[in-house]
Amino acid sequence: MISLNQVSKIYPSRQKSGPSTIALDNVSFTVGRKEFVSLVGKSGAGKTTLLKLIIAEEKPTRGKIFFDNKDISKLKGFQVPHLRRKMGVVFQDYRLFPKKTTYENIAYILEIMGKKDEEIAWEVSQVLEVVGLENRAYNFPDELSGGEKQRVAIARALIHRPEVILADEPTGNLDPYNMFEIIKLLVKIYEMGTTVVLATHDKQLINILKKRVITLQEGKVIRDEQRGRFIL
């Protein structure tokens, strides 16, 4: 479903003569349909860059990335939104729309896709139930706790039934209890049939999951195990 073929990403220095940064170095792997994959590594190992490349936020310097057998780097500007609508993205810092309620934050994706109002109302109420925020529908993000915000973010990533959910350190800002809740939610989504790619540096979390782990170090894949553990 997602396939990286010898992908490198090099950021040129902002100063003229400064050294450029190699964020990813010749990375290749494939993520299959209905798979749960964790990308692990220290901060700066290239996890976030990898996710950015998959959602076409950035273009690879070298190599190819395929999503559903289509080369992402060849997409034209107007095709990119359509690609992103097949994915759901969860960020460490939630990135909710601060001036929209929980309901509107989640409904936004369906509005983009041109769904009817009644349909949206039904779908949003369903997903709010999944993430356990039925009574928070009309609150604004700054009225929610960190854990609740992240659950809204997951609901937003989930609402349009994407083929894959990309989660970038979704538990990074949360306490252990909320972390666990979020992970349980991601596993539930996975069990319902959605591919999940989870980037994290949380050792404990990976060891609980017992799913495929791809380990990155300095932009390179150093390990790819089906029932992986966090070893660095």
Partner 1 sequence: MFNPLKRVINAGYKSFSRNIGLSLATVFIMILVLLLLSFVFLLRPGSETLIESFEERIDISVYFQEYVGEEDVLSIKEEIKKNPDVKEIEYTSKEKALERFEERHKDNPVIIESLKEIGYNPFVHSLNIKAQEIDKYEEIAEFLKASPFATLIDDIDFYERRLVIETVAALSENVRKTFLIFIIILGLIGFLVGFNTIKMGIYSLMKEIKVMKLVGASNWFIRGPFLVQGVIVGGISAIVSLLLTFLLTYGFDTRVQFFIPEISIFNLFVNNFWSLVLLQFGIGIGLGVFSSIVAISKYLNV
- Asked if 74 is part of the footprint of partner 1 (rule: CB under 8 A), the reply reads no
- Between CA 48 and CA 44 the distance in angstroms is 8
HEC profile of 71-97? EHHHCCHHHHHHHHCCEEEECCCCCCC
- Between CA 144 and CA 152 the distance in angstroms is 9
The amino acid at residue 41 is G
Closest approach, Cβ 231 to partner 1, in A, equals: 32
- Asked if 111 is part of the footprint of partner 1 (rule: CB under 8 A), the reply reads yes
- Between CA 29 and CA 114 the distance in angstroms is 34
Query: At which residue do the structure tokens 């369906």 appear?
Result: 110
| Longest Cα separation, the chain | 57
Closest approach, Cβ 85 to partner 1, in A, equals: 4
User: Which residue stretch of 35-43, 110-118, 143-151, 171-179 sits at the interface with partner 1 (rule: CB under 8 A)?
Assistant: 110-118
Closest approach, Cβ 230 to partner 1, in A, equals: 28
- Asked if 82 is part of the footprint of partner 1 (rule: CB under 8 A), the reply reads yes
Cα 63–31–180 angle (5° rounding)? 125
84, 56 Cβ separation under 8 angstroms: yes
Closest CB to partner 1 among residues 66, 108: 108
Closest CB to partner 1 among residues 163, 224: 163
- Between CA 28 and CA 135 the distance in angstroms is 44
Closest approach, Cβ 116 to partner 1, in A, equals: 7
- Asked if 11 is part of the footprint of partner 1 (rule: CB under 8 A), the reply reads no
Binding mask 147-166 for partner 1 (x = CB under 8 A): ---------x----------
- Asked if 75 is part of the footprint of partner 1 (rule: CB under 8 A), the reply reads no
> Footprint of partner 1 on this chain (CB under 8 A)?
55, 57, 78, 81-85, 87, 89, 95, 97-100, 104, 108-109, 111-114, 116, 156
